[in-house]
Amino acid sequence: MMTKNKEITVPEIGQDQLELLEKLCNATAVSGDEGEVRQIVLEAIKPLVDEVKVDALGNVLATKRGHGENRVRVMLAAHMDEIGFMIVDDKDNLFQFERVGGIDERQLPGKAVLVGSEHLPGVIGAKPIHLTTTKERKSKVELSSMRIDLGPGIGDKVKPGDRATFATRFKLLGPSIRAKALDDRFGVATLIELLKYPPDNVDLLAAFTVQEEVGLRGARVAAYHIDPDMAIAIDSTPAYDLPHWEEDFGNDHYNTKLDAGPAIYVMDRATIADRRLVTLLEEAAQEKGIPYQLRQPGGGGTDAGAIHKVRSGIPSISVSVPGRYAHTAASIARVSDWENTLKLLHAALIKVTPDFLKGERRG
């Protein structure tokens, strides 16, 4: 019989984890209206943690304490919200809307959507090809002229302020996942898994944040309240690995690829990662043979962008699961990249020692 390994490890991604991710992706949680995802999170983590509360903005803040002396207090942040739409006006059951978060309006005509808390099915109407002129087909449809069509009989079921999301349902495609809102339900699901298998040497301070997509707002107040020693934002980052994309943009902004493991951030538009944390993650990956990629400087930002500037400064970094077609109706990502992200975070947390942050910031 083998000697029992005392080191706690996370399991591989299996049916349970995929079912949780599916539930999270199919829920609607456009920024400022994160209730559906919050319910799923609360249900999943209540039995796991020492303390849990929902703050004034709607962040879920949970504590899972380790054991031993001088434990480092590690904040792990994952945002519950997703990009989407807000209804602003109604004429004859055709609803005018605005974008919530970063969405390219060229992608919208013809997309199926779900509106409001009842998930009413509708479509962002597009003129059929039969009725368009050649000139129209070559030009962009302005957002102001788009409407969400819910068919007749909706009555007062939809009101200005209601949110809408893409109607895409979660689907496993062999080794891949196709879903909406993998940014950042990947992070939310990863954080829940880490709370199931918490490393003993640190205090895990989990923040399931709100309003990341509109300016990292929830993370700012969450970090202020938690006041951690260090922080890791867990997110999803745009993969940039299709050959035809390289010709006109150059593969130097978002250089992550599918199947190449979690993306460890060195820098993005909002944060320069703490060098000690980059080293920690790289060493953990190398020791455990976990594939990883370094995310080069470029656009985008995560909750770390707000967290590191709170109080007198919090050493922060981001780790992301790469996914193609971020902030569109459907992303494609790999189960293996998610699994390796979970493994990497767990392996890195185990390595955090009380004097870890006393080391040189720049190595």
The secondary structure element, H or E, covering residue 236 is: strand 230-238
Give the distance from CA 303 to its chain's centroid.
10
We find the least distance from the C-beta atom of residue 183 to Zn ion, in angstroms, to be: 4
User: What span, in angstroms and rounded, lies between the C-alpha atoms of 191 and 189?
Assistant: 5
Q: What is the DSSP letter of 6?
A: -
Nearest distance from C-beta of residue 184 to Zn ion, angstroms: 4
Residue closest to 240 by CA, chosen among 185, 186, 295, 178:
295
Q: Compute the 3-state secondary structure of the chain and give helix, strand, coil in percent, each to the nearest 5.
A: 30, 25, 45
Instruction: Tell me whether residue 90 or residue 184 sits nearer to Zn ion (CB atom).
Output: 184
Return the closest-CA partner of residue 69 out of 357, 359, 354: 354
Task: Give min distance, CB of 187 to Zn ion, in A.
Answer: 7
CB of 208 to Zn ion, least distance (A): 13
Q: Enumerate binding residues for Zn ion (CB under 5 A).
A: 183-184, 235
The string over 47-68, giving b where at least 16 C-beta atoms fall within 10 Å of a residue's C-beta and e elsewhere, is: ebbeebeeeebbbbbbbbebee
Q: CA 117 to CA 126: how far, in whole Å? A: 24
Report the residue number, 184 or 203, with the smaller CB distance to Zn ion. Answer: 184
- By the 10 Å C-beta count (0-12 exposed, 13-18 middle, 19+ buried), 331 is classed as buried
Minimum distance of Zn ion from residue 102's CB (angstroms) = 10
- Asked if residues 253 and 298 have their Cβ atoms less than 8 Å apart, the reply is yes
Known catalytic membership, residue 247? no
Catalytic residue among 22, 82, 193, 212: 212
Q: Smallest distance, Å, CB 131 to Zn ion?
A: 38
Nearer to Zn ion, 30 or 87 (CB): 30
- Alpha helices, H only, the chain: 15-26, 35-45, 134-138, 182-196, 217-226, 243-249, 275-288, 304-307, 335-350
Can you tell me the distance from the alpha carbon of 30 to that of 34, in angstroms, rounded to the nearest whole number?
6
22/184 with CB nearer Zn ion: 184
Residue (146 or 231) nearer to Zn ion, CB: 231
For Zn ion, the closer CB: 217 or 276: 217
Active site residues: 212
